[in-house]
Structure 1
């Protein structure tokens, strides 16, 4: 029972992050599937359509990488080195998630304001 409790996959925060990721991914895929006809994507410039789709895919990939890093922490013989490396990896992931969210927000605004 103690072994089950200490497994990272059973951590409640990781489960919440997974559920949030899955909801975001499904909603972004649905939006990507209907934006062209539902929001007149055919009337928008090509660069706006490409920017929107590429940034949505980048956002999903960055979120997946973040979830994967949390699921698989580094294991090393030296605990201090392992924690420092894990902290650096988390900082990189946090930056990539923020950057991809900024790009997606910019693409979303650009798409709806372009004509």
Structure 2
């Protein structure tokens, strides 16, 4: 155990001055925020490119207007959801003490998690409605739809499980702070 402890003690820790930490708090340029912003930009570019090409590539001109509108609204909804997550992460926490701040953040995270799971389901439903319209059905296509639906269901199940775990950990920290 001593060699392990010695190795742990000898790991260099990154040092930041108080001024650096305060500057990060004021500018809100933490590494996590930068990663979220990077992911948001990549997804926004992808969603935008998809919206630019879907009409020609996926025969949007052969589908009814309401399906085109549903697809565009679904994709924009996913983008808005991502922007909302970024804005929530970037928003500074306010409160008179740590416990109040964390309780406020937990309430915000619970709302955001509910919207996250629900918005994904609704967005995928809109996208599927667009792509499944005007299809000449056969057994292979039915099987493909079932497999895709199962994959989306599994993804939603794990997304909900991930959010439940995050919220539970956050709740446990608050309980420890109270106790």
TM range (shorter): 0.7 to 0.9
Asked if the contact 1:59/1:100 (under 8 Å) is kept, the reply is: yes
Instruction: Determine if the alignment matches structure 1 residue 4 to structure 2 residue 23.
Output: no
The partner residue of 2:63 within 21, 38, 44 is 44
Q: Does 5-14 or 77-86 show the bigger shift?
A: 5-14
Larger radius of gyration: 2
Instruction: Determine if the alignment matches structure 1 residue 89 to structure 2 residue 105.
Output: no
The partner residue of 1:34 within 23, 43, 53 is 53
Q: Matches of 1:54 and 1:4 in 2, distance apart?
A: 41
Q: Matches of 1:103 and 1:19 in 2, distance apart?
A: 25
Aligned position for 2:43 = 24
TM, length-normalised to structure 2: 0.58
Instruction: Determine if the alignment matches structure 1 residue 63 to structure 2 residue 82.
Output: yes
TM, length-normalised to structure 1: 0.87
Q: Matches of 1:32 and 1:58 in 2, distance apart?
A: 12
Q: Return the offset for 1:80.
A: 1.5
- Count, aligned residues: 115
- The gaps in structure 1 that reach 5 residues or longer are none
Instruction: Determine if the alignment matches structure 1 residue 75 to structure 2 residue 91.
Output: no
Runs of 4+ that moved beyond 4 A: none
Q: Which is bigger in relative contact order (C-alpha 8 A, separation at least 6)?
A: 1
Asked if the contact 1:14/1:70 (under 8 Å) is kept, the reply is: yes
Q: Matches of 1:77 and 1:46 in 2, distance apart?
A: 51
